[in-house]
Structure 1
Amino acid sequence: MPLRSLAWLTALLAALFLAAPAHAGCTPSSGLLTFTPASSYDVRATAVPTVSGSAGLACTGAALGLLNRTRAVATVTSLNGFTLVGPTGDAIQYRVSPDAAQKLSFNETPTIDYASDTLLSLLGLLGATSFTAPLHARPIAAANVAAGNYDDTLTINWDYEVCNGVQLLSLVCVGWEARKVTVTVAVRLVVGNDCRITAPDVQFGTAALVEQFATQSAAVMTDCTKGTAYRVAFTAGNTQGSRPWRAMTGPGGATLQYNLYRPDGVTIWDESNPQPAERLGTGSQTPVQAHGFVARINPAQPPRAPGSYSDDVSVVISF
C-alpha cells in the first residue's frame, strides 16, 4: 500500500510538470519616436538617420510562429499623412516600417501582422516567446525647410491574440488572450540652422613698391537655412588686429599692412562692424547670396622687404 501511494504521487507530479503553463500577455503603451537632431541641409540631402523605437505593444510567452492562432495585427494611420510638419508649414515626408530594413511599410500597407512568418523572419523572432513590436522611421524625400520642430502623430490600432498559457513540452495552448487596443506614437525631428560658405583667395599680385599694389574686389558667397536671418563679418586675421590695419606676415616676421572693406571701399569690415543688414537664407545647397568686399594694401606704409606675404582671414556668419 505505501508503494502504490508513492507511485501515484510521482505520476501526479509528472503530469503537473507537463501541463505547467508559461503565463503570457501583452502590454500596450504609447510612445515617442525622436530623430537625431539634424540641420536643414541634412534634411535636404535625405541624410537623417533612421530612428527606431516601439510600436506600443510588448508581449511575453506568445510562442510566435509556432501557434497558428497567434496574431498581432497593427493598423497604422498618420495625423499628417506620414509627413512631419514644422512651425512655418514646411513638411518632411517619412517612411514607417515594422522592420529595420524597411522592406515592409505602413505607408503602403496600413495593416501588418507582426506575428506573420514573413515579418517574424525579418525580425529574427520566429519561435520567440516574447517580443516588443518595433517601429522604424526615416525621411524619404529631400525637403528645403526652415528650422524648427517637425511633428506627426501615429495612431496604431492593435488587434492581437496570444497564448497566455502553453504546455512547455507539447506547445499546446491552455489559454488565449485576445484584445483590441489603440496607442499613439508621437514622431519628432528637430531641424537646426546651418549655413554654406565659399570664399575666394585674394591675390594682390607682385609690385616693387607698396603704393603700386592695385585694390582688389571680390565676393564671398553664402546661404543659410531657409528663412534664417544672418549677418556676415571677417575675422581680424593671424595678427588679431584689424584697426586701423590688418597685417600679412612675410620674411623674418616682417608685416605688410592691408585691410578689408565693405563695397564702399571705406568702411572696415570686421567682427566689431558686421554686415549692417540681415540677409534671409534660401536654403540653397550651393551658396547663391553674394557679399562683395574690397581689399587694399596701405599705400602709405614704409617700404617692405621683398618676399611673399600672407594672412588667413575667416568668414563669420552669425544668426
Structure 2
Amino acid sequence: MPLMVRFAFVLLAAGVFWSSEAVAQTYGSCTVGTAGTNLGNASSFVVGTSSQSGSGGSGMACSAISLITTSYLKLRVETSTFVLTGPSGQTIPFVMSGTAGGTAIGVGTEFDFSGFDLLNLFSGPGGAVPVYFRTTPATGLAAGSYTGSVSLRWYFSVCTLGVVACLAYSNSPGATRNIFGVLSNWGSGVPVTINVSLTVENDCIITAPDLAFGAAPLVGTFNPVTRTISIRCSAGAAYTVGLDNGANASGSTRRMRRGATSDYLTYEIYRNTITTDRWGNAGVERRSSTSADSNPGIYDGSTLQGFSYRAAIDPGQPTPPTGTYTDTIILDVTF
C-alpha cells in the first residue's frame, strides 16, 4: 500500500454587537438628550459586502404613559452627512429609519410616531423610542473606529397621567392642544444629537490548498512538494504569517500519523522553495507580508500576497508501515 499525506489550514472569526444611550433634559415625565448607537464590530470584508444594521435610543424617553387619549410625537432630521468617517477620511454611508428596514429619513424629513402602539413604542435602551440604522457596503476600508451623527428635533405631547381623563401632558416646548385634547401646535421641538459608530476590524481572506506528497514505496523516494498560500488582508494592514507544528509534533518536529496508530512520518515545511529555513509560528520563523513572494507590502485590501513554500519528507527516517499518513497545520496571521 502506498504512503500518502495531506494537510489543511483553518481560520476562525467572530463578531459582536451592542448599543448605548444617554438622556438629559426633562419635560414633565419625558426626557430628551444625546443618544448613541454602536453598530458593533465587523471585519472590513464583511462591511464591504453586507449592510451592518442595529437599533438604539433616539434620545426621547417617557417614564409614564397613559393611553386615555391620543399622544403625539414625531421627529425631524435637521442635519447629517449620513456617513461614518474613519481612518484617513474613509467613509461608510448609512441611513436612519423609524422602523427596522424602513424608509430612510433624510434631512428635512419628518417621521410621525403618533399612530404607533405606545406600549411597544418606548422599547429602546432606557425606555426610549428606538430608531434604526443600516450601512451601505463600502470596500477597501482600513481597520479602526468609524463615527457619524444625526442631528434631529423631537416634537411631542404625551399623556402621562390619567385613568378616565388625561390629567397631565408632557409637552415639548410650544406644543399645545385645543379644548378637545387635539394637538393644535407642534411647537418648536427639542434638538438632540444621535451619535453612531461602527468598529471595522482587520481580517484576511486566505487560500491555502491542501498538500499531498503522493505515494512511494520508500521514504527516500518521495519528492519535495511546493505550494503557494494566497492572502488578502484589510487595507493598510501589515502582517506576519505563521504555521504551527501540526497535530502530531514531537517537540518542534512535524510528523504525520497513520490513523490512531503510533506510526509516524516526519516532514518539514520551509519558508520558500529553495532554502532550508523552517517556516514556523514564532519569532524569525514567521513570514512577513513585506517579504511575500508576490506583491510584497501592498495593503490596499484587494491585492493578493503570495507565499510559496516547500515541504519535504525526511529521507533519513526508517520507512514506516504502509498506509495513509496525515497531519493538520494551523496558519495564523498576526497584525
With normalisation by structure 2, the TM-score equals 0.72
The equivalent of 2:233 in structure 1 is 224
Aligned partners of 1:259 and 1:230: how far apart in 2? 23
- In structure 2, the CA distance between the partners of 1:213 and 1:78, relative to structure 1 (3 Å rule), is farther
The equivalent of 1:105 in structure 2 is 104
Shift of 1:151: 0.3
**Superposed counterparts of 1:148-163, under 5 Å:** 148-162=144-158
AA at the equivalent of 1:275? R
Shift of 1:168: 2.8
Q: 2:42 aligns with which of 38, 44, 47?
A: 38
Q: What is the DSSP-based 3-state SS (H/G/I as helix, E as strand, rest coil) of the residue aligned with 2:88?
A: coil
8 Å contact 1:33–1:187 — kept in the other structure? yes
Q: 2:286 aligns with which of 263, 267, 274?
A: 274
The equivalent of 1:297 in structure 2 is 313
1:196 matches 2:205: yes
The equivalent of 1:55 in structure 2 is 58
- In structure 2, the CA distance between the partners of 1:62 and 1:250, relative to structure 1 (3 Å rule), is closer
1:94 matches 2:79: no
Aligned partners of 1:25 and 1:249: how far apart in 2? 71
Aligned partners of 1:88 and 1:31: how far apart in 2? 26
The equivalent of 2:191 in structure 1 is 182
Q: What is the DSSP-based 3-state SS (H/G/I as helix, E as strand, rest coil) of the residue aligned with 1:88?
A: helix
Aligned partners of 1:253 and 1:181: how far apart in 2? 75
- In structure 2, the CA distance between the partners of 1:316 and 1:133, relative to structure 1 (3 Å rule), is closer
AA at the equivalent of 2:230? M
Q: Which has the higher contact order (CA 8 A, sep 6+)?
A: 2
1:306 matches 2:310: no
Aligned partners of 1:179 and 1:162: how far apart in 2? 16
Shift of 1:143: 3.1
Q: 2:142 aligns with which of 105, 125, 146?
A: 146
Shift of 1:150: 0.6
Aligned partners of 1:46 and 1:168: how far apart in 2? 50
Question: Per-residue CA shift, 1:111-133, capped at 9, x if unaligned?
Answer: 22332x4xx279966xxxxx843
User: Rg larger in 1 or in 2?
Assistant: 1
**Superposed counterparts of 1:218-257, under 5 Å:** 218-241=227-250, 243=252, 245-250=253-258, 252-257=261-266
**Superposed counterparts of 1:80-91, under 5 Å:** 81-91=81-91
8 Å contact 2:59–2:192 — kept in the other structure? yes
Shift of 1:107: 2.9
**Superposed counterparts of 1:18-33, under 5 Å:** 26-33=30-37
Aligned partners of 1:240 and 1:146: how far apart in 2? 37
Q: What is the DSSP-based 3-state SS (H/G/I as helix, E as strand, rest coil) of the residue aligned with 1:197?
A: strand
**Superposed counterparts of 1:111-122, under 5 Å:** 111-115=110-114, 117=115, 120=116
Question: Per-residue CA shift, 1:259-292, capped at 9, x if unaligned?
Answer: 10011331111113100454554434xx832211
With normalisation by structure 1, the TM-score equals 0.75
Q: What is the DSSP-based 3-state SS (H/G/I as helix, E as strand, rest coil) of the residue aligned with 1:146?
A: coil
Count of aligned positions: 281
- In structure 2, the CA distance between the partners of 1:283 and 1:62, relative to structure 1 (3 Å rule), is farther
AA at the equivalent of 2:151? T
- In structure 2, the CA distance between the partners of 1:299 and 1:162, relative to structure 1 (3 Å rule), is closer
8 Å contact 1:24–1:165 — kept in the other structure? no
Structure 2 residue runs of 5 or longer lacking an equivalent are 1-26, 122-126, 168-179, 291-296
